[in-house]
Amino acid sequence: MRPSLRGAGVTLALVAGLLPAWSGTASAVTAAEPLPLARFFDNTAVSDDARPGEADFDGSGASLSAQDLAAAGWRPGRTLTVQGARLTWPDRPAGAPDNVRADGQSVRVRGRGDALAFLVAGTAGAPVSGSGTVAYANGGRTAYRLTAPDWRTGPLATKAPPLPHINTPDGQLAERARLYVLTVPLAAGREVISVRLPRATGMHVFALSVRDTGLGWTGSWAAATGGRAAVGPWTDRTLRLVVRTSAGGPRVRLRFDNTFAAAPVRIGAATVAVQASGATPEGAPVPLSFGGAGGAEIPAGAQVFSDPLGFDVPADTNLLVSFHLPGTVTAAPVHRLAQQRSYLSEPGDHTADPSPAAYTSTLTGWPLLAAVDVSGGPGSVVLLGDSITDGDGSTPDANRRWPNVLAARLLAQDAVPHYGVLNLGISGNRVLRDRYPGDGTSPDTAGVSALNRFDRDVLAQPSARTAVVFEGVNDVRWGATADQVIAGLRELADRGHARGLRMLAATIVPCAGERRCTAAADAERVAVNAWIRQAGVFDGVLDFDAVLRDPADPARLLPAYDSGDHLHPGDAGLAALAESVDLRLL
């Protein structure tokens, strides 16, 4: 039995075999056969702004605004995808019961997947925790522990939709309301038939579902959203983004994320093509569809997958992903440091253009596009990192980030499978602290902490098998102690292991000579590295510190590997990192 795990609002203890039959003082309805969640709705969370007294979410008369939810695209009965899980917002009008207060109810839910997803919030003024049970068709059960953050005081970094108001009987408050999507692991390969909710006063459940594992898909390219930044404004423009594949396959699907957004965004049309050069495709771009339609609306805080498309995706090749934004977009979720030029068109839908003529401006980030998956393949390796993984210091447009070199190494050998390699680095990112505040428009796109983005950026990736954590230098440069960083790394390892991931850690590379890399910061770095090497918490260690340090001055990068700022390796250093990886560890 794996020990229990605490972190990011979820605790899990896998239970071998069968649990004892349920007993206790549950009401007749909770003790009966499992029922759909909506049959248990006993609380009203949503009110019309004109009639705030028709709901009482927290026992004091406060409630969510129906208008705010609609403005975010969270309309009654709509199924949304968040963290890869499909969840249906309750199909109830404002003023009608729309959630259940968790009290041990047995809920009917079916499916096979890697995780059970809950749309929840707490109303106790602090996080609310409780334990529940998942029942499987083969008679087995697993226990889980769920912690719902508070709807008024919980973290902004991990909330789902942004809701700017709270309704009260005395009027509307300009205060952010929060709802959360949390996931807990499921037994691999087993069919879920029901879920016993926790008994937890103040925990409210709006929806739950089994998240598909993504079997049959391998992640070929991905980028982490670092924040929501002002753009354009863009009105009736087409973006043609350049991305580099790792694994190849005969079918493709794309994922667009509206993370951190305040409003829905509309994609009018989208295409994919292999890049010839610049904004010029090889042949005619091939149109994508979304649920059979040519475009899609992405609700605030949600994501959308394109339909599977028969399109031969070459490995280790640049693709052009073009999508038309018919409305006006003033701010967008973005991965800022692409180290790759992409293109912005003159007004109009130019997704199908075989010519680059309409693409008269360049972009240096990746807005909205979050992933390219290919069919088949052995699964992917997810690299969770900061600017060194993101490619800062590498040659732009050359795909010389260390994840690119690692992907090329995997493709060039046959000792281990040709895994996809997903670069989830964010320049400026930290293990412990958020840089982007988690809400609103901000020029800081260094992301929320590794702890706060781990579920979205690692656990939700399709067919992920291994994760590499290569972070910590920004934490120690900004005053975090070794003990604090170690605690964060330990939590990441535990959370990954609970989901069945193989977890690897990379030691923090030296940076003396950079302004914030003081002797005190280096001492903390050295202590973190000693723990990574010796503690045995991770399944393997990539000793990047040993690869890049100057033997004559171990606090510094070897000059041949230094990009010039003493913090980021250049092309040679990044290649040395990738070449040092024992592929059998993956």
User: What backbone torsions phi and psi does residue 281 show, to the nearest 5 degrees?
Assistant: -85, 160
Residue 422 shares a structural domain with residue 563: yes
Single out the residue of 56, 180, 197, 203 nearest to residue 124, CA to CA.
Answer: 203
Structural domain includes residue 148: yes
Total structural domains in the chain? 3
pTM of the model: 0.93
Which amino acid is present at 570? G
| Predicted local distance difference test score (pLDDT) of residue 213 | 74
Residue 331: alpha-carbon gap to chain centroid: 19
Structural domain includes residue 270: yes
Angstrom distances, CA of residue 417 to CA of 218, 411, 420, 586? 12, 8, 9, 9
Which amino acid is present at 248? G
Residue 90 shares a structural domain with residue 129: yes
Structural domain includes residue 372: no
Residue 294: alpha-carbon gap to chain centroid: 25
Residue 409 shares a structural domain with residue 539: yes
Residue 215 pLDDT grade (very low, low, confident, very high; cuts 50, 70, 90): confident
Residue 298 shares a structural domain with residue 160: no
Residue 112 shares a structural domain with residue 260: no
CATH code, 382: 3.40.50.1110
State whether residue 559 is helix, strand or coil.
helix
- The pLDDT of 23-42, averaged and rounded, is 69
Task: Look at 26 and 232; give whichever has higher pLDDT.
Answer: 232
Over 60: is that where the pLDDT of 24 sits? no
| Predicted local distance difference test score (pLDDT) of residue 214 | 79
**135 bridge partner residues:** 141, 194
Residue 323 shares a structural domain with residue 399: no
Helix H or strand E encompassing 491 = helix 482-498
Structural domain includes residue 2: no
Over 50: is that where the pLDDT of 11 sits? no
One DSSP character per residue, 38-102 reads GGG--B--EE-TT-GGG--SSSSS-BEEHHHHHHTT--TT-EEEETTEEEEPP---TTS--BEEE
| Predicted local distance difference test score (pLDDT) of residue 18 | 29
- The answer to whether the beta carbons of residues 128 and 120 sit under 8 Å apart is no
- pLDDT tens sequence across 43-100: 999 999 999 999 999 999 999 999 999 999 999 999 999 999 999 999 999 999 999 9
Task: Look at 188 and 480; give whichever has higher pLDDT.
Answer: 480
Residue 47 shares a structural domain with residue 185: yes
- Three-class SS of 229-283: EEEEEEEEEEEEEEEECCCCEEEEEEEEECCCCCCCEEECEEEEEEEEECCEECC
- pLDDT tens sequence across 364-410: 999 999 999 999 999 999 999 999 999 999 999 999 999 999 999 99
- The answer to whether the beta carbons of residues 249 and 311 sit under 8 Å apart is no
Residue 241 shares a structural domain with residue 157: no
Q: Where are the beta strands (DSSP E) in 376-529?
A: 380-385, 420-425, 464-470, 502-506
| Predicted local distance difference test score (pLDDT) of residue 212 | 87
- pLDDT tens sequence across 253-279: 999 999 999 999 999 999 999 999 999
Residue 29 pLDDT grade (very low, low, confident, very high; cuts 50, 70, 90): very low
Q: Which of 180, 211, 242 delimits the end of a domain?
A: 211
pLDDT above 70 as % of the chain: 95
Residue 205 shares a structural domain with residue 232: no
- The answer to whether the beta carbons of residues 245 and 313 sit under 8 Å apart is yes
Q: Output the CA angle 142-147-151, nearest 5 degrees.
A: 145
Over 90: is that where the pLDDT of 135 sits? yes
User: What backbone torsions phi and psi does residue 25 show, to the nearest 5 degrees?
Assistant: -110, 25
Mean pLDDT score of the chain: 94
Q: Which of 163, 178, 211 delimits the end of a domain?
A: 211
Structural domain includes residue 222: no
| Predicted local distance difference test score (pLDDT) of residue 10 | 39
389/458 Cα distance (integer angstroms): 15
> Is the Cα dihedral 390, 395, 397, 399 positive or negative?
negative
| Predicted local distance difference test score (pLDDT) of residue 27 | 37
Residue 465 shares a structural domain with residue 416: yes
- Three-class SS of 334-353: EECCCCCCEEEECCCCCCCC
Q: Residue 518 contacts by C-beta under 8 Å, 6 or more apart in sequence?
A: none
| Predicted local distance difference test score (pLDDT) of residue 335 | 98
- The answer to whether the beta carbons of residues 578 and 569 sit under 8 Å apart is no
For 87, the domain range is 10-211
Structural domain includes residue 373: no
- The pLDDT of 191-213, averaged and rounded, is 96
Structural domain includes residue 221: no
Over 90: is that where the pLDDT of 138 sits? yes
520/480 Cα distance (integer angstroms): 11
Over 50: is that where the pLDDT of 34 sits? yes
Q: Which of 211, 241, 275 delimits the end of a domain?
A: 211
| Predicted local distance difference test score (pLDDT) of residue 21 | 30
- The pLDDT of 331-357, averaged and rounded, is 98
Task: Look at 294 and 29; give whichever has higher pLDDT.
Answer: 294
Angle of helix 571-580 relative to helix 402-411, nearest 10 degrees?
40
Residue 362 shares a structural domain with residue 382: no
Residue 28 pLDDT grade (very low, low, confident, very high; cuts 50, 70, 90): very low
| Predicted local distance difference test score (pLDDT) of residue 361 | 98
Residue 433 shares a structural domain with residue 481: yes
Structural domain includes residue 223: no
